[in-house]
Structure 1
């Protein structure tokens, strides 16, 4: 049986302790993300993430390499409003790795050589993303809803801006942004390592005193760009459609999550029956809601063949309007709630997924537990989903990639 615990401190610790687990996953979560990148330095947070995982730490060449040599797994990710650094190792290695994770992220040793190496890796990552139109269309979707705003910039950055990054700017982002943002640590394993206490891990008290002292702020979101007709290409195209929803901490967030299941890719969803079953217009499609610190985005993404774009878009609009006008069918709503609940439960069943899930939820909402999330989902009513659908319908926009010239 697992035990869910929280430990207060300069870096709060959330632990899901289960003595049946044979690995320990440690995740350091920061409320610093790419939306705080300065103008002209789009991608700075992403470059910093790469550098912190690749710079020598302690007596080892890098946290990533050392964890992998132990047989474990280490990685990091940057989002619009958060960064995650995590490692999954044997429990006997967890004490050492927790300390090294703190040192790597909070007390790095800067190296021009490592920075140049990781900038080259980022260039390859950007090239791969540019070749994947399912990635491109999501960037285009956010750029449409947040024109000229940090939320509308690509998380990974642009090649021109990444090229501008130097050791001084990366170190400044670390000092002024990451170290002053709220941090938390998630541990999923058979026991809680003592070194998850940053003082025990040897982190400088002055560094700990700065954590959480500068809450992240971004400028107000501008109105979305005017809707233009979607320019369909003459090849297979990814369509992304939706509207702003609510921030991660908003109590209405579960309403939009359930709506995403109601119009998602499960054979039990209303949109699956309409879009794939009856109309046969899309084989691959997804619906999801993502809350951020100050706003949210609900969207459907579908891959459509040439000539099917407008028809697929009309099916999506009609299904959304039906829910917004009449409310969801009771059986469909019950199924959508079960699907949303199951997404939480399946995320908790895999230690690494569980740590990432807890990190994202805890860093967004403060004190939180999986039991809370399931209770919020179970409390979602037909009227809640109807209001959410009406909000998305009224703000509905669509973009496509590749787009016709």
Structure 2
């Protein structure tokens, strides 16, 4: 297993860029550059600008056209991608280790010198608006978006990361360029690299490429935690099945997060979870049922989702409530369950350590959240100390007063 002390080095360049370098044997390198600005930092007239900007970063730089940039990315022979979430925007490259200088050079050029060609902007608006419309056709996406709108009164979580139709149509080159110049600065960025190369060599490459980048961290819109609004809400849509979404929000201390992650595995995050076993295997009501945990600071939520035949909606909802209420009362999980869940978490960590890309992304997540890199290694040590009492306490704290949204099949 990777030794954190000898395999991971962190530094902050003079320009403010935070860098984490991990040495891992193998033929590949992976790098992520993350901007600490996401959908929750957007103003009312900016909804979707982080995601739209992410798209436009791939549409050419002041040195390379759209076609040339993407051909050069392809020529690396690996994988490249990007994503936007509520607190960050991240760009990734994974390729053969001999491509590290070229890969980092292209990434540097993309995030620092995008061209924002007007013709490409107009075409991309159509692409993103199509993407937004697709969420209305996707039952799961629509249900979870509507669930958030019912659960929150003020939070930016009410709005899809893609933004709104009005805002997307209103984006101009100037608005994009102004947002970019404010947020795409080294003082607001994190760079993570996993490769087999020596630390000194990687750091030299990083300084040579990113050292001339300038800009301090900007003042951003404050993100505050909002408790969900408890209650049951519903709507209808012409479709084949009905969907059920449940949302819990909470504010946990650091030591409570690991027990909750263990609980989530048992509740709905494995093929043998309580939700899956009951709703699918025992009752035959649903093809899938899951729970999703978000421990991002100032978001902290747990979501449950499933789809069932409309006639089975109330039965399925009663089953879900029975499971969550039983967990909250501390009468469901056994010592064997706890042992299995610990093994599952350990397996997940080991899988991350084996995969260059996943390891790089995991460390990026740590740094964006303000955690030490490779925090999961600390979690492995702490895992052995977790008891059933710890899990039961966090279940009682979290699994109460949910927002329930039902999207029923109908006209």
Secondary structure, counterpart of 2:132 in structure 1: helix
What is residue 323 of structure 1 aligned with on the other side? 327
Mean Cα deviation higher: 194-203 or 75-84: 194-203
Matches within 5 A, 1:158-173: 158-173=164-179
* Aligned length, in residue pairs: 399
What is residue 254 of structure 2 aligned with on the other side? 250
Mean Cα deviation higher: 361-370 or 23-32: 361-370
Structure 1 residue 339: Cα displacement? 2.1
Structure 1 residue 401: Cα displacement? 3.6
Secondary structure, counterpart of 2:276 in structure 1: helix
Secondary structure, counterpart of 1:308 in structure 2: helix
TM-score of the two chains, using structure 2 as the length reference: 0.87
1:259 aligns with 2:263: yes
- For residues 143 and 378 of structure 1, the distance between their equivalents in structure 2, rounded to whole angstroms, comes to 39
TM-score of the two chains, using structure 1 as the length reference: 0.89
Is contact 2:190-2:364 (8 Å) kept?
yes
Is contact 1:52-1:104 (8 Å) kept?
yes
What is residue 44 of structure 2 aligned with on the other side? 39
Structure 1 residue 73: Cα displacement? 1.6
1:286 aligns with 2:266: no
What is residue 105 of structure 1 aligned with on the other side? 111
Mean Cα deviation higher: 24-33 or 324-333: 324-333
Matches within 5 A, 1:234-383: 235-246=240-251, 250-327=254-331, 328-369=333-374, 370-383=376-389
Secondary structure, counterpart of 1:154 in structure 2: coil
Q: What's the Cα RMSD here?
A: 2.6
What is residue 124 of structure 2 aligned with on the other side? 118
Structure 1 residue 403: Cα displacement? 6.0
Structure 1 residue 367: Cα displacement? 1.4
- For residues 73 and 51 of structure 1, the distance between their equivalents in structure 2, rounded to whole angstroms, comes to 18
- For residues 329 and 142 of structure 1, the distance between their equivalents in structure 2, rounded to whole angstroms, comes to 33
Structure 1 residue 39: Cα displacement? 0.3
Could you list the per-position Cα deviations for residues 287-343 of structure 1 after superposition, in whole angstroms to 9, with x for gaps in the alignment? 121122312111121121221122112111111111211252211122222223323
What is residue 56 of structure 1 aligned with on the other side? 61
- For residues 241 and 349 of structure 1, the distance between their equivalents in structure 2, rounded to whole angstroms, comes to 34
- For residues 150 and 187 of structure 2, the distance between their equivalents in structure 1, rounded to whole angstroms, comes to 28
Structure 1 residue 125: Cα displacement? 1.8
Structure 1 residue 159: Cα displacement? 1.9
Matches within 5 A, 1:83-94: 83-94=89-100
1:397 to 393, 397, 403: 403
2:74 to 68, 71, 95: 68
